[in-house]
Amino acid sequence: MPAEFRPLNVEGAFAFTPKVFPDERGLFVSPYQEEAFEEAVGHRLFHVAQTNHSLSSRGVVRGVHYTTTPPGVAKYVYCPRGRALDIIVDIRVGSPTFGQWDAVELDPASFRTMYFPVGVGHAFVALEDDTVMSYMISGTYVAEHELALSPLDPALGLPIPDDITPLLSERDGAALTLEQAREQGLLPDYAESRRIEATLHG
């Protein structure tokens, strides 16, 4: 049975829920399924240039991170351990959903996954200790291409739970607001993001 999927509030983004097969030994699951992905997004997954793995304590908030566009990257994310609130933010100037966000709880019970198209912002909140996030991404890490927005920007109003005291890196704690980044011309352009994403999938 192919994974179920639904579009998110950010244009071009999707959440997927694969079927989990438990038995007396444990379980088996396929977090990425080409058939479901192609039906949802309209093309196959990008060429995977890099995989990333992060481990976080409860309360850690990573993001809002994004890549300058160009070059831009797309991501496919899931949580194989712990529990996280994964957040996508549309920061693409000109997008029909600019400034909107959506959030999906990821965990190793449902194995829900999220697809992040080129040009959007990504943040997550670790809801348990030892939360692992696993990423497939379309480009390699280049430090000067990686930017951040404040996850505490009140204009974004991200859904950080009230019982969480956010633990931020120095970089994320000092990050610009969405409006400051827009004024400085640091946000991705929607049309350019879509153009780049089309090239990732041939």
What one-letter code names the amino acid at 197?
E
User: 69 near 193, Cβ under 8 Å?
Assistant: yes
In the annotation, is 65 catalytic? Answer: yes
In the annotation, is 135 catalytic? Answer: yes
| Cα–Cα dist 138/60, whole Å | 25
| Cα–Cα dist 186/93, whole Å | 10
What one-letter code names the amino acid at 150?
S
State the catalytic residue, choosing from 65, 76, 122, 190: 65
| Cα–Cα dist 80/2, whole Å | 19
Provide the CA 156 distance to its chain's centre, in angstroms. 16
Which strand ranges, in their side-by-side order, compose the sheet holding 84-89? 101-106, 84-89, 121-126, 61-67, 146-148
| Cα–Cα dist 202/199, whole Å | 5
State the catalytic residue, choosing from 32, 135, 141, 190: 135
| 70 Cβ neighbours under 8 A, 6+ residues apart | 192, 196
| Cα–Cα dist 50/70, whole Å | 17
List active site positions. Answer: 65, 135
